Structure 1
Amino acid sequence: MLGVLEGFATIAIVVAVGWLLAHLRLLDESAQNNLSRLAFYVASPALLLQVMQRTPLSAVLSRNLVTSLVAFAATVTIYLLLARSRGAAAPLGSRLIGSLSAAYVNAGNLGIPIALYVLGDVAWVAPTLLMQLLIITPVYMALFDSDARGERPTVLRSIRRMFSNPITIGALAGLLISLLDVTLPRVIGGSIDLLGNMAVPAMLVAFGISLRRGPRPAAGRAARHVWTIVALKTLVMPAIALGFGLLIGMRGAPLFAVVVTAALPTAQNIFTYAVRYRREVNLARDAIFVTTFVSVPVILLIAAGFHLAGV
């Protein structure tokens, strides 16, 4: 259980640094935007290339991958149905940020340490990481780009946007390097690693700035919306993963891994996307902030339940 707390504490400290820099007026909203752009256009693509080229496909092609995809799709569907029942349809960009906030897990900078300390092997989080990078992210990036340009999403436009987005390009380049078993020259590989290492700190510091400079999280008229997303992310999504996993015969450590992964909080990437496309920035920020705190006791309870079951 110490590993869970260590993973969350590491993130909290870096976010606090961003908050303090904003409080001291050393950084402001322009710095937040610049850090987010740096993460989106440079650091995140390098990080995704770095992760994908080092992830063996044999570790991800499993029932864990299918269960993660089903849990994501089901949670997004529930969110969209709830959003539609509220009345007037929200703009596409708002629905995209809302659905990602409800179902896109922090499988990278938080999932990896939790997989190592709680599950005992980083490979357990690889299926979800691959699913998000190579399936979910390209589709959503294409939709975001169409929305930003005021275009109606079509299959051809979406495919074109997929292969012109830096996030997608980074993930696909890493996968291609892995499949072809290419060894990059040390100077190139070292440069990519160095750039990729900026991604998480840049996102977390930008997030900390927004907490200090923006409105209080989960307050006002948006509070109900935020708490709906929190409930979907931290309770509904792991419950779906558990139910579907049992349905297809998963047991023991594989089932434990997929349920814990589904209970992870909303990824910081969503805040970066919200800033980049200027859609629901405060909603993404609030969802990340609240789910990060709520997911701690949820994951601890899941771990305790599986421990009592002998896993």
Structure 2
Amino acid sequence: MQGVFTGFATIAVVIGVGALLAHLRVLDLQAQRLLSKLAFFVASPALMVITLSRADVHSVLSANLLATSAGVVATAGPYCALARWVWHRRLGDATIGALSASYVNAGNLGIPVASYVLGDAALVAPTLLLQLLVLQPLALAVLDVDARGRSGSVWQVLSRPLRNPLTVGSLAGVLLSVTGWTLPAPLASPLGLIGNMAVPSMLIAYGIALRLGPGLGRAGSVTELAATSALKLVLQPLVAWFVASQLIGVEGHALLAIVVTSALPTAQNIFVHATRYGRATVLARDTILITTVGAVPVILFVATVLG
């Protein structure tokens, strides 16, 4: 259980540093946007190259991925329906909301939790690859369309993910993993150094936004925030458990890994995407905060029952 607290405590401290720097007026909202852009365009793509080049890409084809995917669909689907028919959100806002309800923190929190709670960091790889290679490119393509106000030609729509730095970094990492190629040290070392900026940049930018942005729930629908948080913390791990245990027949440690991974909180990079495209930034920020705090008891409960 120590790994759960260690992972969450690390994130909380770095976010707190960002909030403190904003409180002391060392950094402001302009700095927050700059850090978010740095993470989106530079650091995160480098991190994806390094991370995915070392991952077992073939694990994404495992049957367990079905349970993880079911959890994503079961949360993003209902949110999109509510966003369209109840809250009447525009496309970009609904996309960020759907990501807030379903996109787990498989990177900077999932890896330490998988290492310390599950005993193997590789257990988070299927979820990480699903998000980086499928969910994120699709979501960014939709956000690009929404930002431009028109879809463009078929080729423009299909090629947009390939023009996104995060997607390019992810594909480059997968190519290295599949082919077994190793980056030469003069290239791998600076990429690793740059990639190490990704998580701190995201977390400090998030802390600045918490301190200087609107109060919790003040700039949006409290009902919508409650929905994204409940979908993420309750429905997603529950659906993943049901599909894995009742439909696929997964048992033991493998089942624990699936449910714990699905119970991870919303990823901080969703806030980076929201800031980058100017869509649902407060909803993303607040959902990340609530699910990060709420995921601790949820994961402890899952580990106690299934561990």
TM range (shorter): over 0.9
Are the counterparts in 1 of residues 105 and 266 from structure 2 also a CA contact under 8 Å? yes
Distance 2:102 2:152 in 1: 22
Deviation at residue 107 of structure 1 after TM alignment:
0.2
1:259 aligns with 2:273: no
Distance 1:158 1:138 in 2: 11
Are the counterparts in 1 of residues 132 and 170 from structure 2 also a CA contact under 8 Å? yes
| Identical positions, percent | 51
Equivalent in the alignment of 1:80: 80
Q: Where do residues 205-244 of structure 1 align in structure 2 (5 Å cutoff)?
A: 205-219=204-218, 221-244=220-243
- Structure 2 stretches lacking a partner, 5+ long: none
Distance 1:50 1:191 in 2: 11
Deviations 1:36-62 (A, max 9, x none): 000000000001111110001243331
Deviation at residue 263 of structure 1 after TM alignment:
0.6
Q: Equivalent residue of 1:203, what SS?
A: helix
Moved over 4 A (4+): none
Are the counterparts in 2 of residues 139 and 158 from structure 1 also a CA contact under 8 Å? no
Distance 1:238 1:121 in 2: 19
Alignment-mate amino acid for residue 179 of structure 1: V
Q: RMSD over aligned Cα, in angstroms? A: 1.3
Distance 2:157 2:72 in 1: 20
Greater alpha carbon shift after TM alignment, 202-211 vs 51-60: 51-60
Q: Equivalent residue of 1:163, what SS?
A: helix
Equivalent in the alignment of 1:248: 248
Q: Where do residues 32-181 of structure 1 align in structure 2 (5 Å cutoff)?
A: 32-86=32-86, 89-152=88-151, 155-181=154-180
What is the number of residues matched between the two proteins?
306
Deviations 1:87-118 (A, max 9, x none): 5x311000000000000000000000000111
Deviations 1:212-256 (A, max 9, x none): 001112346522211111000000000110111121111111111
Alignment-mate amino acid for residue 204 of structure 2: V
Q: Equivalent residue of 1:108, what SS?
A: coil
Q: Equivalent residue of 2:203, what SS?
A: helix
Distance 1:239 1:153 in 2: 39
Equivalent in the alignment of 1:200: 199
Q: Equivalent residue of 1:231, what SS?
A: helix
Deviation at residue 152 of structure 1 after TM alignment:
3.0
Are the counterparts in 2 of residues 256 and 306 from structure 1 also a CA contact under 8 Å? yes
Are the counterparts in 2 of residues 45 and 171 from structure 1 also a CA contact under 8 Å? yes
Distance 2:94 2:155 in 1: 21
Deviation at residue 156 of structure 1 after TM alignment:
3.4
Distance 1:256 1:170 in 2: 30
Deviation at residue 85 of structure 1 after TM alignment:
3.6
Are the counterparts in 2 of residues 207 and 271 from structure 1 also a CA contact under 8 Å? yes
Are the counterparts in 2 of residues 217 and 289 from structure 1 also a CA contact under 8 Å? no
| Distance change >3 Å, CA 221–CA 202, structure 1 → 2 | closer
Deviations 1:242-273 (A, max 9, x none): 11112111111111111111110000010000
Greater alpha carbon shift after TM alignment, 175-184 vs 164-173: 175-184
Distance 2:182 2:37 in 1: 29
Distance 1:187 1:170 in 2: 18
Alignment-mate amino acid for residue 94 of structure 2: R
Distance 1:260 1:99 in 2: 20
Deviation at residue 32 of structure 1 after TM alignment:
0.1
Equivalent in the alignment of 1:17: 17
Distance 1:275 1:282 in 2: 9
Distance 1:99 1:143 in 2: 12
Deviations 1:182-215 (A, max 9, x none): 1211010001100100000000000000000011
Alignment-mate amino acid for residue 243 of structure 1: F
TM-score normalised by structure 2 residue count: 0.97
- Structure 1 stretches lacking a partner, 5+ long: none
Greater alpha carbon shift after TM alignment, 19-28 vs 60-69: 60-69
Greater alpha carbon shift after TM alignment, 4-13 vs 248-257: 248-257
